[in-house]
Structure 1
Amino acid sequence: MERRPLHDRRLTYPEVGATAGALPPGYHHLVRHRTVGTGEAAFRTAADRLMTWDLHRRAGIGVDPGTPPAADGTRVLLRLGRGPLRITAACQVVHVLDEPRRRGFAYGTLDGHPERGEERFCLEWHDDDAVVLTLTAFSRPAAWWARAAAPLARRVQDRVTQRYLHAL
């Protein structure tokens, strides 16, 4: 695991912000969505849970209680697993959506993250009243052990994505 303080780490990929448009070549791409509710109350509740990292916690991802809400530049340590199989992943929020009917953010990987890339969480309140969460990501292994276990890493990513989609 990376030993440098979180504030000293750098983003590990050049395509910052690409989850908002065409996903870059050379990465594994992921786009998934799910209706999580209907109406304004559902949108506001889900947006609050998303922006305060509660979505991650509800999906079984460890986030320190003192982590500030997602904002441009916010850095976060995410933890998955237990004991010797625990993975710690450092990320930085690179974009925030704050519109009347769209909320969310994208974060990118920092030094020490086992993957290299970006993930976007976008919550939309559609005209038909449906509240839809869309996850968009591009990634590739960065750590030697992530490259060696790439097929397993994809399965873990798919499982975590499903947990995110069902956490709101």
Structure 2
Amino acid sequence: MPLRRPSSPPKPPDRRQTERDLTYAQDMAGLSASIHDIDDHPVIAERLRSGGFHHLSHSRVIGHGAADRDRALTNLFSGRAHRVAGAPLYRSGTPLSADAPLAPGDVVTVTPGRGLLTPLDSPCLVLTAGPSSMIYGTLPGHVECGEEFFGVSLNEDGTVTATVSAFSRPGRLITRVGGALGRRIQARMASAYINGMEAA
């Protein structure tokens, strides 16, 4: 009778990543939503400063009326804004689409390119998605340590404003070495994300 090779134990299911896995303190989750008016939040400003976090916020009028607001939100939640910005989002290895928009709890990978830029692929946990904003925070392996907020507002005068705010500090050697250059790239990307939300 042939010897039976012992069967290998079943692989445990992948543990769902949660706020416990963020690369910054859990009690900071959601603070990126307050960065646009950081002067009104001195306690938050001091928390970021003492933690070594750089912060930025960019806003721009991108349209007028409910139709422009809805288009910008569709671009954001479908991943189109990130694709237009040159940093597409993938969920479980698949690009985001309008058929399966972002949802809280999703783990997405920001992919700024392939080939030479593949090492910059960075995982994030979606903390909020809707009705008018999205926040994701960095997971282990991200080039930065921090959080980013994307918002769209329809103002009383009918204008539509898109805002991208973030706080971060270097998460890997490449961003520690990059220093000020990395911050300039972040600022450029914030503007590019707004262009992506505005895209027709």
TM-score tier by shorter-chain length is 0.7 to 0.9
Aligned-partner Cα distance in 1 for 2:190–2:15: 24
Larger deviation, residues 27-36 vs 67-76? 67-76
**Alignment partner, residue 130 of structure 1:** 159
Q: Is the 8 A contact 1:6 1:75 kept in 2?
A: no
1:150 to 171, 179, 198: 179
**Alignment partner, residue 139 of structure 2:** 110
**Alignment partner, residue 76 of structure 1:** 108
**Alignment partner, residue 94 of structure 1:** 127
**Cα deviation, residue 63, structure 1:** 2.3
Q: CA offsets, 1:105-133, max 9 Å, x none?
A: 11000010010000000100001000000
1:31 to 31, 45, 57: 57
Q: Is the 8 A contact 2:81 2:195 kept in 1?
A: no
Aligned-partner Cα distance in 1 for 2:174–2:95: 30
**Cα deviation, residue 138, structure 1:** 0.2
**Alignment partner, residue 32 of structure 2:** 19
Aligned-partner Cα distance in 1 for 2:78–2:15: 19
Q: 1:85 to 1:96 in 2, by over 3 A?
A: closer
Give the AA of the match of 1:145. Answer: I
Aligned-partner Cα distance in 1 for 2:66–2:171: 40
Q: CA offsets, 1:21-52, max 9 Å, x none?
A: 34522211101101110001111111111111
Task: Using the aligned pairs only, state the percent identity.
Answer: 34
**Alignment partner, residue 59 of structure 1:** 85
The structure carrying a bigger strand percent of its residues is: 1
Give the AA of the match of 1:18. Answer: L
Q: Is the 8 A contact 1:115 1:141 kept in 2?
A: yes
Helix, strand or coil for the counterpart of 2:111? strand
Q: TM-score, normalised by structure 2?
A: 0.74
Q: CA RMSD in A?
A: 1.9
Aligned-partner Cα distance in 1 for 2:95–2:142: 20
Structure 2: gaps spanning 5 or more residues: 1-13, 35-43
The structure carrying a bigger helix percent of its residues is: 2
Q: TM-score, normalised by structure 1?
A: 0.87
Aligned-partner Cα distance in 2 for 1:35–1:6: 41
Count, aligned residues? 160
Structure 1: gaps spanning 5 or more residues: none
Helix, strand or coil for the counterpart of 2:121? strand
Larger deviation, residues 69-78 vs 135-144? 69-78
Aligned-partner Cα distance in 2 for 1:48–1:96: 11
Q: Is the 8 A contact 1:47 1:123 kept in 2?
A: yes
Does 2:76 match 1:43? Answer: no
